[in-house]
């Protein structure tokens, strides 16, 4: 399964799709990127005159690339279009802000995958290579039928 196939299987679409490309994916982890377009609705009114990407959106981007994309890769032959995904836990430390039009890179390393639960160590980096967020994210990924 290639990167484009994984992205097309994601159960999200714009404006709630936070994956532009996957640079690497294998059974141990995934690396992908996303650029936060300045026209996204959540920037309107979020710190008037100085918009910052909300932490919940950063966490969602980390989860989509770091857990969901990896889960789809790991389950590639078992999945169909009726994928059920549930976030089960997060423990994320936010270190630096991300502003409109910034490109981030998310790097995920599998901690374990068993009984449909995937837990990963996930780091988001800004364009300067600095850690923006770091933590662990876990979720359940199965067929919904």
Per-residue model confidence as pLDDT tens digits over 12-52: 999 999 999 999 999 999 999 999 999 999 998 888 889 99
Please check whether residue 135 is in contact with residue 120, taking contact to mean a CB–CB distance below 8 angstroms: no
Q: Is 56 helix (H, G, I), strand (E, B) or coil?
A: helix
Specify the pLDDT at position 144: 61
pLDDT tens digit sequence for 53-102: 999 999 999 999 999 999 999 887 565 555 678 889 999 999 999 999 99
pLDDT tens digit sequence for 113-138: 998 899 999 999 999 999 999 999 99
Residue 1 clears pLDDT 70, i.e. is over it: yes
CA geometry: angle 10, 114, 90, nearest 5 deg: 60
Specify the pLDDT at position 103: 98
Specify the pLDDT at position 115: 87
- What are the residue boundaries of the structural domains of the chain, listed by start? 3-143
**In the chain, what is the greatest distance between 2 CA atoms, to the nearest angstrom?**
47
CA geometry: angle 98, 95, 92, nearest 5 deg: 100
Indicate if the alpha-carbon torsion angle 50, 46, 17, 75 is positive or negative.
positive
Burial of 102 (0-12, 13-18, 19+ CB in 10 A): middle
Specify the pLDDT at position 45: 81
CATH of the structural domain 3-143, one choice from 3.40.50.1370, 3.10.129.10, 1.25.40.10, 3.40.50.1820: 3.10.129.10
Top-confidence residue, 42 or 141: 42
The backbone torsions φ and ψ at residue 25, rounded to the nearest 5 degrees and listed phi first, read -150, 135
- Those residues with Cβ within 8 angstroms of residue 50's Cβ, 6 or more apart along the chain or in another chain: none
Specify the pLDDT at position 77: 54
pTM of the full structure: 0.92
């Amino acid at each position: 399964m290639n990167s484009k196939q994984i992205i097309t299987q994601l159960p999200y679409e714009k404006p709630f799709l936070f994956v532009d490309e996957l640079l690497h994916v294998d059974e141990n982890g995934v690396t992908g990127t996303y650029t936060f377009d300045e026209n996204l609705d959540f920037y309107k009114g979020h710190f008037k005159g100085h918009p910052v990407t909300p932490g919940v959106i950063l966490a969602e981007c980390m989860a989509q690339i770091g857990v969901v994309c990896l889960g789809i890769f790991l389950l590639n032959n078992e999945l169909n279009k009726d994928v059920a995904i549930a976030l089960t836990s997060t423990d994320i430390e936010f270190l630096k802000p991300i502003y409109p039009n910034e490109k981030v890179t998310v790097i995920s390393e599998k901690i374990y995958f068993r009984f449909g639960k995937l837990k990963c160590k996930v780091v988001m980096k800004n364009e300067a290579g600095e850690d923006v967020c770091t933590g662990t994210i876990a979720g359940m990924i199965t067929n919904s039928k």
